[in-house]
Amino acid sequence: MATRGKRKTTEEAYREALLAISPGTRIREAISAILQSRNGGLICIGDPKRLAELSEGGVKVDAPCTPQLLYELSKMDGALILSKDSRRVVYANRFLKPDTSIASDETGTRHRAAERMARQAKCVVVAVSERRSCVTLYVNNIKHVMDAIPTLLNKATQAIQTLEKYISVLNQTMQELSVREFQDMVTIFDVCRAIQRLEMVLRIAKEIEPYILELGTEGRLIELQLRELVQPAEEGDLVVRDYCREKPGVAWEEVREKIAQLPQDELLSLGSISQALGYGPNPRTIDTYLSPRGYRILTMTHRLTPQIIENLVLRFGSLQQIIRAPKDDLVAIEGVGEVLAERVRASVNLLRNQLALDRR
């Protein structure tokens, strides 16, 4: 959702439009009925005053939006105009008259008017094709031909299977990174490879999200699977925070955002990731070991709050220094008492032993 007081971006409007016409909604139920009866229709969702200026004729309805009402009104040739929240039908059987100078690649009269209307009025227009039995969504300058639910489920399932394979490789990569961190033998290649795998998983997950939006209530199981699968990828922020080179005025969040914005071809190059982290474009020139600050490993113990982890890192500077610190030094950290200091030691040792067992 867009922040209150700020205009929605096209992407935000598109996501909301997908949700508004996804399975389980009033509009989708009406669309299904229109398709089953082999009729067509145009549904405009936006500012009624603005849409009324760009249309003429028809009748003023001003009634609550129900699937049955939408279906019956769609039998007329003109377009339906709904309020911004799609809860009320304001007009029916309206003739759309957008600016004909607006470019459109559509050949059909209905779809051409829908595309121009969406672009000119910055609104959402749903065009139901009578001949092709398909639904096309126009949001501002975005056009999206909606797939049938079985087709969407098939695409989403295939994407989930691909994601599972990448997650398997990611888990192995992160396990190797954790082992090397305890051994204090991490190289820039280990770090860049882990970040590369993490980012690739996040990008695949992002490609699945539109399927879930479009599936609506039919995509709940896919959504649960996706949430479960992407949990390991949430470590990406902590890896960047552990290893990005400190520079005045540059926060680790900026480094993370820079990596997230790398084009796909640059993401495949470890040199691009190394440069984003602040180590230069040629990882081979970096022959020294890197020492993690400890954010990721300490978070994995599930014993410490983010603030206590921050205090430990600020005080000791690296994971190895935290591990080797005497108990009295740990207790001196704000928020860490004697009991918690012992738990930290025990949790870190337990994690190290578990990693050693997993490798066997």
151 and 136: one domain? no
Domain end marker among 292, 307, 342: 292
Q: Which residue has the higher pLDDT, 357 or 184?
A: 184
Structural domain range at position 328: 293-360
Is 3 domain-assigned? Answer: no
Is 5 domain-assigned? Answer: no
Residue 106 has, within 13 A of its CA and on its CB side, a CA count of 21
What are the pLDDT digits (tens) for 128-149? 988 777 899 999 889 999 888 8
183 and 265: one domain? yes
- For residue 247, the model assigns a pLDDT of 86
User: Does position 287 have pLDDT exceeding 50, yes or no?
Assistant: yes
The answer to whether 309 and 281 are in contact (CB under 8 A) is no
Domains of the chain: total: 3
What are the pLDDT digits (tens) for 216-267? 888 899 999 999 888 877 788 899 999 998 888 889 999 999 999 999 999 9
Distance, in Å, from the CA atom of 233 to the CA atom of 138, rounded to the nearest integer, reads 33
57 and 153: one domain? no
User: Does position 8 have pLDDT exceeding 80, yes or no?
Assistant: no
Q: Which residue has the higher pLDDT, 68 or 11?
A: 68
- For residue 68, the model assigns a pLDDT of 94
35 and 58: one domain? yes
The answer to whether 41 and 74 are in contact (CB under 8 A) is yes
Q: Write the CATH number for 155.
A: 1.20.1260.110
Q: Does pTM surpass 0.95?
A: no
From 73-82, 85-94, 271-280, 343-352, the region with the lowest mean pLDDT:
343-352
95 and 72: one domain? yes
User: Does position 96 have pLDDT exceeding 50, yes or no?
Assistant: yes
224 and 257: one domain? yes
Distance, in Å, from the CA atom of 201 to the CA atom of 167, rounded to the nearest integer, reads 7
202 and 266: one domain? yes
Mean pLDDT of the 79-103 span: 93
User: Does position 359 have pLDDT exceeding 80, yes or no?
Assistant: no
Nearest alpha-carbon partner for 280 in 166, 158, 213, 192: 192
234 and 299: one domain? no
68 and 20: one domain? yes
User: Does position 78 have pLDDT exceeding 80, yes or no?
Assistant: yes
